Structure 1
């Protein structure tokens, strides 16, 4: 483990990028096939597949922490010790009737905070334990790093719930204003440490509000993918919208100017989705295009005539047009955004 040559900025980016990678790896399997599994005959194979993708989501804290450890150039013992501490403090494990129950993907904000604290704890114990670290480091990082994470967990839950209440307030406004606000708000959430799915689920965001939120996420995905397409591989280009735009979290937080085209486009998209009366569920509201969850749910939940055409316009035509327009204005004309600002590490 060599931290001597790593700057504070590099350390912070490693925390952000590691968590973003973990989110993609853990959540994409369910995002891609969960809708398909619901409509398939519930055979043993389908049930097994469903179990596999659901449990993969609960592995998010383990994967995220290990990815952070790799980016910080930690060894196997250090990375695995961090993974244990983060898993314990993630909120994935709860106690019910005296038994431990594993469910959900945890509180992403606390997962990120715990990986940060566990990283610092790991560095500290690595220095003082010396040759004994193989024996004592896993326990030390688990108890101290995981313990600190358990202390911050209820605080992070409160913060996430507070954000949820803000979103709920937006749903009580006029439909057009609501659509604009939710489109922009969920564009921020999807590239932040907060869980857009968790917040949408916590507040029960459904109906037209969910459709507007989902349209904002879809547009965010395409704006970031198309503006940065020169710098990233085709796999990463597709990962923006079939995966999650949260992979750009580190770039967004370190270069706030990237929020300008994203917010403009997502607000417009959310307003249009509201006018076209696109509906959704709490689950679809926070997922965007991943696994085509947004469009498929809108197709099933929305009412009125020409639903198929409205879905195509909302989730494909408008986001693509807006993304190309944002690239033309902010990259080609104003030069406010450099394509290198959206460069992603290969994963």
Structure 2
């Protein structure tokens, strides 16, 4: 759980700027060319994900600064984010392999804790070298190839199946992500790790939208305006404790997500690996769909996006909230947020 929590924090810190600004600025480039500079900055930020994964995992284990730096380096070595060039330089591209970054960081933490204070005054000289030589090599040359093959296979399986069966897979992916978005697991981390793309990403994003919209509507009486819209502009994860306390509240969310995912699959809504787990936050989902190859900002596509990301989610949220309140399975107090 500490490793997963560290990865989740790292994913949010490094990928949120790109999700919030990247897609928006791409759409504004024709009238704001200088936005390309910001796109480049947030792109570089996302490529620093392996570094931050190592740092955040180390923080979870309360390691010293030297130990934290060693774990961060190991995470980068196991990520594959940097490729050696013939002239001695390195090409930094993408986010690397998220799963293997976490695996390598975990191995590095294990070695660091095992060594402890055994090196004494030689710690600053030997700890990094020993860890890079052992854990770095394992992450880069042993686990990386295996994890890469598995994650690419899984991503292709999900993306390919969704292309063949968009409605059926849309239902499954949306329902799954609607539950994950209110759990400790990072939806963005999963989508990025398995390279979700196209319709699989779009329908998964709709699952997050369904969760956020349902929680906003269902808890409106208990939370008021400010705490209600946080489910949309922020994240539905603020309801994690309430979902564990009242698991029946997940039923209207999952039903809503399944219907919305099926409709999204029918419309072939799309997205990117980064947008899949964000829902409506920063308009990441709608903008990723409109900016995706093969789509574009036509009147028809804009209408589909408004229907799938705003109109239907709100209508379905109201319907399922009233149904489950009427049968006595849920009530507004179950969704009350208490931040003080």
TM category (shorter chain) comes to: 0.7 to 0.9
Alignment match of 2:21 (pick from 33, 37, 41): 33
Secondary structure of 2:164 counterpart: coil
Alignment match of 1:72 (pick from 42, 48, 61): 61
For the residues of structure 2 that align with 1:93 and 1:75, how far apart are their CA atoms?
Answer: 26
Q: Which residue of 1 aligns with 2:135?
A: 145
1:100–1:177 Cα change, 3 Å? same
Q: Which residue of 2 aligns with 1:17?
A: 5
Is the 8 Å Cα contact of residues 85 and 146 (structure 1) preserved in structure 2? yes
Shift of 1:307: 4.9
Q: Which residue of 1 aligns with 2:46?
A: 57
Shift of 1:291: 2.9
1:105 aligns with 2:101: no
Q: Which residue of 2 aligns with 1:296?
A: 287
Alignment match of 1:333 (pick from 326, 329, 335): 329
1:256–1:274 Cα change, 3 Å? same
Deviations 1:126-165 (A, max 9, x none): 2321232122222222332222222211221122122223
For the residues of structure 2 that align with 1:42 and 1:85, how far apart are their CA atoms?
Answer: 42
For the residues of structure 1 that align with 2:133 and 2:212, how far apart are their CA atoms?
Answer: 38
- Choose 183-192 or 135-144, whichever is displaced more: 183-192
Q: TM-score, normalised by structure 2?
A: 0.74
Is the 8 Å Cα contact of residues 170 and 258 (structure 2) preserved in structure 1? yes
1:266 aligns with 2:257: yes
Shift of 1:119: 1.0
Q: Which residue of 1 aligns with 2:156?
A: 165
1:198–1:75 Cα change, 3 Å? closer
Shift of 1:26: 0.5
For the residues of structure 2 that align with 1:209 and 1:176, how far apart are their CA atoms?
Answer: 10
Secondary structure of 2:41 counterpart: helix
Is the 8 Å Cα contact of residues 15 and 112 (structure 1) preserved in structure 2? yes
Deviations 1:215-254 (A, max 9, x none): 12333455678889999xx79984x65567789999999x
Query: Where in structure 1 are there 5+ consecutive unaligned residues?
Result: 1-11
1:179–1:55 Cα change, 3 Å? same
For the residues of structure 1 that align with 2:335 and 2:285, how far apart are their CA atoms?
Answer: 28
Shift of 1:262: 5.5
Shift of 1:282: 3.8
For the residues of structure 1 that align with 2:242 and 2:126, how far apart are their CA atoms?
Answer: 36
1:314 aligns with 2:302: no
1:177 aligns with 2:165: no
In angstroms, what is the RMSD of aligned CA positions? 4.3
1:145–1:284 Cα change, 3 Å? closer
The structure that has the greater radius of gyration is 2
Secondary structure of 2:119 counterpart: helix
TM alignment of 1:198-217, pairs within 5 A: 199-200=194-195, 205-206=197-198, 210-217=201-208
Shift of 1:97: 4.2
Secondary structure of 1:171 counterpart: helix
For the residues of structure 2 that align with 1:155 and 1:49, how far apart are their CA atoms?
Answer: 35
Shift of 1:61: 1.4
Is the 8 Å Cα contact of residues 249 and 330 (structure 2) preserved in structure 1? no
